[in-house]
Amino acid sequence: MPFIELFVPEHKSSTELERISNILHEQLVAHFDVPIQDKFHVFHRITSGRRFFDLHYGVSNGQRSENWMLIKILAGKPRSLEAKQALYQALSNHFKVQLGLVPADLMIVISFNQLNDWSFSEGQIPSSKNLNSNPAN
C-alpha cells in the first residue's frame, strides 16, 4: 500500500508523467509485492528555481542533469534489502530504456509505516482483510 510522491522538472508533459507512473507501478507490482489495484501516485512539477541539488553526490558515473527526479515511497510494510535493491535496479533500467532517463537522474527514498497509520476512506483504519477484498469484483 505505498503512497508515492514524484518530484519532477516542470517541463515534463502529462503524457510523460503517465508513462513514468505506469512504469513505476509495473515495477512495484513485479518487485515490491504491491497489488495491481494499489496505485496512488502524486506528481509535483518543480521549477528550476525551486530545485537545488548536487550534481555528483552519490553518483558513481556521470552527473545529474536538469532531468533529475526524486521518487518518495511511503510503504506500509517493510521490504527486504533484496526487494529494495531489485526495485531500485528495475526502475533505473526501465526508465533508461523506456524514457531515456540517465540513471544518475533518478533518486529514490523509501520509508515505512504501519497499517494503522493509514485511512484510505471513510475515516476508518483499514484491516488487511478489507484491503484484500474488492466489492467491485
pLDDT digits (tens, 9 = 90+) for 2-47: 999 999 999 999 999 999 999 999 999 999 999 999 999 999 999 9
E strand segments, 78-128: 106-112
What is the tens place of the pLDDT at every residue in 109-135? 999 998 888 888 888 888 766 666 544
CB 2 within 8 A of CB 42: no
The helix (H) or strand (E) run that includes residue 69 is strand 69-75
Residues contacting 83, CB < 8 A, separation 6+: 31, 32, 33
Residue 68 is which amino acid? W
Reply yes or no on whether the pLDDT at 137 is more than 70.
no
Place of cell 503517465: 18
Q: Pick left, alpha or beta for residue 57 (phi over 0 → left; psi -120 to 50 → alpha; otherwise beta).
A: beta
pTM: 0.89
Within 10 A of 112 (CB to CB), how many other CB atoms are there? 13
What is the tens place of the pLDDT at every residue in 48-86? 999 999 999 999 999 999 999 999 999 988 999 999 999
Q: How far from chain centre, in Å, is Cα 52?
A: 20
Hey, CA dihedral for 77, 1, 9, 83, is it positive or negative?
positive
Domains and CATH numbers, the chain: 3-132 (3.30.429.10)
- At 32 the pLDDT is 96
Determine the average pLDDT of the residues in 84-102. 98
